Structure 1
Amino acid sequence: MSELGGSLFQQQLLENGYGPRFHAYYYKQWSAYEMDYHRHNSTEIMYLMSGSCIVDVMADEREERYRLKKGELILLDANVPHRLIVENEVACRMLNVEFSFISLEAGSEAAISISALAKEEAALAELLQTPFASLVLPDPEEVLHALKSLVLELDRQHGKQNVMVRLLFAELLLRLARLHREQLNPSRQHAHHYIRKVTEYLHQNYDRGIRVEEVAAAVNLHPGYLHRLFKQHTGRTLTDYLNALRMDKAKMLLAGSVIPIADIADYVGIGSRQYFHLLFRKYSDCTPTEYRERTEPDSWKTAALDRPFPERANS
């Protein structure tokens, strides 16, 4: 049997008869641990069963950080540098499996090739033709069942393959592919629900510092998934939407109040006045001072002096 290598994204997987070769499989608890960056020529699935952890991934000379919680998994393609960090003393429990691909023996009736599966399941063919360095997926415990059963069976067989191992790996791949397709193509009703909740949250909290992770937690979605969902259905990033919202609020305050320009940044949740001026120019093609001068009639300048400042919302 010839070995193909570990990446999911090889054309031979779709054209010829290849199956998995397992390099590692384990169930482990980690606490207060930091792993060095490393890579291996095998695809890795890390599934968080309890607790939380950080997985840093180096892709295209840029570090990406993922915070995983219970019920989430990360799929890492072969030869992608990555490391695990567990910040808390409280243990996180994790299921792992690492595999590459080898050619199947001709005429093996018990063997199930990746190409045969992809021909039957369009979602798998799509997954194998959508290259990524890493992919985080929330799991409704469908993947967990297949992954746990696979690891237990591998342990019983001391890493050797039998019919059950091949069947469980096939199920694992198919469930991952369907979950991936679901994430990329959520139903319009499903997407509308989350987009509405996110925009409501932003309108209620724009006047304080907000991180994407905080918004994602408020609507119970993974930050990476929320980013893709929001961009797919609104045509803009979540950060762009929030900045535009803040600048619209800033314009209202500039035109309808006598709040000093230097203080308006705080009113719209931006801590840096310099950054506020940069953003305002980006979204308005003028400075805050120029905008106030354009929109404020001479009579308002005098009359407004007697008006009280609006109350600052509690953050």
Structure 2
Amino acid sequence: MKTSSLYESALTRGEYLPEVVAYYFKQWDNYSMPFHAHNQVEIMYVIEGHCCVEIEGESLFIKKGDFIIIDAEVPHRLLVENGSPCRMLNIEFRFQERKGFFPSIKDFAEEDKAFARLLKMNAPYILLKDPNEVYFVLKNLVLEMDERGKENLLMVHLLLSQLLIRIGRLAVEVKANEPQQQSNIYVKNVIAYLHENYDCEIQMKDIAADVNLHPGYLHRIFKNHTGLTVMEYLTSVRMEKAKMLLAQTEIPLIEISDYIGINSRQYFSSLFKKYTQQTPVEYRKAAVRRKEFASWERV
């Protein structure tokens, strides 16, 4: 007897072992996979680049070092943009009744509380960031499977069990930090991204992709935490940088907008006046007067 879902109750009642049924390394580019489902649990690990996985109406942006576990029979598809290749390692597995003396899924659940909790999450997918340990196990698992010798079966079972236990511990740790603490981390990462990239042309999809969130969800949690939308916060960062450049440098006015990632001088002037109640010209003149007055006072 075989079972497919990671959350099948039979796994903690009977004696089952995980069994890999497919695995592959592959690089995708300009690819749009149709929605599909299969009767195996799938792990998709991004080795290089980034991609989007759509599941149950959500678009999940996944980048290097991230991986997703998709339960059996859950419709999903992979999307990779043209010119942005994504290299991945995928494995698919299900569960078969135990033969021999190797510890079963039930045995592991009885010994490891985090793994037992993983088997009860009943989530269509779990998206996690690798703390530099999951890929090592995955890669070794695939190398052992490539050998296909009987002497490799024990190592395959050991590595696959180790993989599931590590995933269980990661998933439980992430679950314990949600939702508030995880939201704080996302907002902190977005703010750091904006301060590092304000001088580039940025779209909401770029910011969302950097933190692996759907743009709509990111918009909600960011505004709840800061009182501003992501783009309003970006504008405030740019305007503060513009004020500094106008007051402390001699960069020509017509070039200031380029330094802060706004490709329209007219739009920059309009934003700046809305933000400071002064045009860029007026702000620089006022800054020059303040410097002159400060110099006069020191004399």
Looking at structure 1, the residues matched to 75 and 205 of structure 2 have their Cα atoms a distance apart, in angstroms, of 25
Cα distance, 1:222–1:90 mapped onto 2, change above 3 Å = closer
CA distance in structure 2 between the partners assigned to 1:64 and 1:192 by the alignment: 17
The one-letter code of the counterpart of 2:62 is L
Maintained 8 Å contact 1:47/1:94: yes
Q: What's the CA shift string for 1:120-156, capped at 9, x where partnerless?
A: 1111111110111112111122111111111111111
Counterpart-to-counterpart distance in 1, 2:22 and 2:144: 13
Counterpart code for 1:123? A
- Pick closer, same or farther for the CA change 1:201–1:52 going to 2, 3 Å: closer
Secondary structure at 1:78 match in 2: coil
Check whether the contact 1:112–1:170 (CA below 8 A) recurs between aligned residues: no
Q: Which residue of 2 aligns with 1:250?
A: none
- Which amino acid in the other structure matches residue 214 of structure 1? I
Residues 1:10 and 2:8 are matched in the alignment: yes
Which residue type is aligned with residue 245 of structure 1?
G
Pair 1:67-2:65 in alignment = no
Match 2:212 to one of 196, 211, 222? 222
After TM superposition, list the pairs within 5 Å mapping 1:152-231 onto structure 2.
152-157=143-148, 162-186=153-177, 194=185, 197=188, 211=204, 214=207, 217=210, 221-223=211-213
CA deviations 1:222-243 (Å, max 9, x no partner) are 327xx6xx9xxxxxx516616x
Given that 2:49 and 2:86 are in contact with CA atoms closer than 8 Å, whether structure 1 keeps it comes out as yes
CA distance in 2, matches of 1:267, 1:136: 28
1: CA distance, partners of 2:141 / 2:150: 10
1:3 and 1:183, CA in 2 relative to 1: closer, same or farther beyond 3 A? same
1:162, 1:112 → 2: CA distance?
A: 14
For 1:92 and 1:81, the matched residues in 2 are separated by 21
Q: Which residue matches 2:33?
A: 35
CA shift digits 1:77-121 (9 cap, x unpaired): 00011111111334321101001111112xx22x22111111111
Task: Please give the alpha-carbon distance, in whole angstroms, between the structure 1 residues aligned to 2:203 and 2:224.
Answer: 12
- Does 2:110 correspond to 1:119? yes
Aligned to 2:48: 50
Per-residue CA shift, 1:245-297, capped at 9, x if unaligned? 259xxxxxxxxxxxxxxxxxx9899xxxxxxxxxxxxxxxxxxxxxxxxxxxx
- Separation (CA, whole Å) in 2 of partners of 1:268 and 1:70: 27
| Structure 1 residue matching 2:140: 3-state secondary structure | helix
Whole-angstrom CA distance in 1 between matches of 2:16 and 2:213: 34
User: Which structure 2 residues correspond to residues 287-298 of structure 1 after superposition, within 5 A?
Assistant: none
Query: Do the aligned residues in 2 keep the contact of 1:45 with 1:74 (CA within 8 Å)?
Result: yes
Query: What is the deviation of 1:199?
Result: 9.3
Instruction: Give the CA deviation at 1:16.
Output: 1.5
Q: Distance in 2 between matches of 1:212 and 1:33?
A: 18
Pairs aligned (count)? 233
SS in 2 for 1:312: helix
- Number of the residue aligned with 2:221: 238
Question: 2:88 pairs with 64, 87, 94, which one?
Answer: 94
Q: TM-score, normalised by structure 2?
A: 0.66
Find the partner of 1:149 among 140, 144, 149.
140
Q: Which amino acid aligns with 1:101?
A: F
CA shift, 1:22, in A, is 1.8
In structure 2, do the counterparts of structure 1 residues 201 and 78 end up closer, same or farther at CA, with 3 Å as the change threshold? same
1:86/1:194 CA distance change after superposition, 3 Å? closer
User: What is the CA RMSD across the aligned residues, in angstroms?
Assistant: 3.9
Structure 2: gaps of 5 or more residues: 235-271, 277-299
Shift of 1:197: 2.9
**Mapped contact 2:27–2:88 kept (Cα < 8 A):** yes
Unmatched 5+ stretches in structure 1: 231-236, 248-265, 270-309
Query: Residues 192 and 267 (structure 1 numbering): CA distance in 2 closer, same or farther, change over 3 Å?
Result: closer
